[in-house]
A and B are shown apart, each in its own frame.
Chain A
Amino acid sequence: MIVPIFFSAVIYASLAICILLSYRVAKIVNLSLGSIYTLGGYLSLFNSFVSPIFGALIGLLLHIFTRRLDLSRATLFSLGLAIAIEEFLRIIFRAEYILLNYSKIFYFFNYKILFEHFLAFLISAAFLISFLIFELKKSLSKLKLKIIEEDLENAEIYGIDTEKIRAIVLIIVSAFFCCIGSLNLRGGLVTPTIGWLHLIFSLFIATIANAFREKAYILVFPISLGVCLLI
């Protein structure tokens, strides 16, 4: 039982990091991520590889429309965007659900898993490890990120290009959600609202982690593992 829980914990920890980054750096509770996750699932009907591109485009769009908005208005806009994506999927696919097929079954020691789910785990693990290294290493980029997290106006006074960093964060986060959605939803039924379930769960983990302030990113994985084990 520990293997599937570990796999889920890694995936949800990486999704929670994305939510934290959106909130702390881009100053937005990004509610469109659930629909972007769903969009990834639907895009996998054509090709999973296109999903990060679509995700990135939506992230860029979100940045453009919310860059002059405060937290509450930007969050509201992201909710509107989420509903728009949902409706778009309803109009295009006209079906209450679609069964997404998988390519093959993968053997991880004695544990059988869908290949796409294993790929989602690998990508999430790579993202998580890279981010942890970035977080633990002292670098100028990390310092810039911390300053933006602490105070946006201060960051601008220090000459940090906050808009550029915000755009990068929203693009990466959206592309990642779309990519994981396109892999993790394979093998099951998708509906235009299915991404909300995954967003709410990741948001729950992110909220707990956020309470630990500067240690939030480092503690995301243990929190995710704990939540997955308990719930």
Chain B
Amino acid sequence: MNQASIPSEENLDPTPFDLMQVPVLGPLFRWRYARPFLQAPLLLISVAMILHGLFGPSLAPKNLATTLSWLHFRGILVLVLLCAGNFFCLACPFMLVRQVARRFFRPRFTWPRALRNKWVSVALFVLILFTYELFDLWSSPWWTAWLIIGYFLSVLVVDGLFKHATFCKFVCPIGQFNFVASTLSPFEVKVRDQDVCTRCLTKDCIRGRRDATSDLVVIRGCELALFQPRKVGNMDCTFCLDCIHACPHDNVGILSRLPGTELLGDSLRSGIGYFSRRNDLAALVVVFTFGALLNAFGMVSPVYAVENWLGKVLHVSHEAPVLGLIFAAFLILEPVLLLGSAGLLTQAWGGVQRAFLPLVVRYSYGLVPIGFGMWLAHYGFHFLTGLYTIIPVTQNFLASLGFPFLGEPRWTLTGLPANAVQVIEIGFLVLGFVGSLAVTHGLADEDFPANALRAFIPWAVVCAVLFGASLWLIFQPMEMRATLMSG
């Protein structure tokens, strides 16, 4: 499929809205130190979270580390991804530390070719989901603090040894989550006028801008190997602003677009390749989608019944193997059955000649909206129902430092009522379901215009199954245990 077959955003939206034209925001993003300016507050908050996590109250609802990590950060992250774009990566505090460290450590090595894919980050994504459940990170300020410290150390080690943005592109599980979710964001970093790029001789957006006399790079080009004129969508884009700063023609903006359009089409994407040939990227999408259900399943009552039953059947009393089986069921068995069946039906019923694996890989991207809908519902629920808890926790934190100027902690402050938030959750799920139907239908229509409906129906059924499972999950009674298997 060539570039022309991608639904052109220019056709859909001839005059995209450019965030760079917005007063205050535009000048801020153009400012060379915009990124550290946005990163510094998050770094300070991270330090406060680490200190409070290690030395503060051991009870999760009273600690900054757990409250900010598992309620506010996650909730704000998914809402910003939904409403704007990958702005968390822009303000990532880990990268600020990396930048400072690179004044001392100059990386020498290049990331091994065999690892230049998403497999490592997929494994780490699964590992984080697994440790979250196994060690009940949500209930432990201590372990949450160590997770943050571990993250900082990992960034320093990886990007201390390896050149470019190795950690962001190939390792960071949060980054991969953001990359996948930001395919549905309404803004992307994009060139304003392709003709300007065609005439451009220096290609500073990828090479970096060099000093005329010393020939040293003074403004970095894209460290994630995304060449702006051939970049498609938000995948792998950290919104770091490097290309915007480097472009000598001021031809890169943060433009509006129809969310999800980048999931259609199968053109060659700069720094990515072809979506349909990226099994690793499809695996990331599968973990993103089915992991959303798994992560929510870990917080409702039926999970404990399943775990106890599994424990008895297998004569196992230890948590890890039982949890491992549940993870295997959600992240391997379920996707293989659902996607495999849909792929076979599409081939048989739709008379499709495309090979089985590339077909499944291509259509798996259609599941991103429903997966994101579930993450939004889950994280949005915790964020909104615990919205105000940050107030007493901050009051308590400042009082413990000897600055009680915010008064006595008001522990009764929580958030929006759960029944009101449930309506919002349903809205997110419906949005995700409709989005997935639209994307999978768009893929079927592109690939098999004569048999689009037949090719679409198996994938619509998969979306419906996932939607039904998500709805069932949010109506289950919540149960938050730090002990997985009861006595």
Are A and B part of the same complex?
no
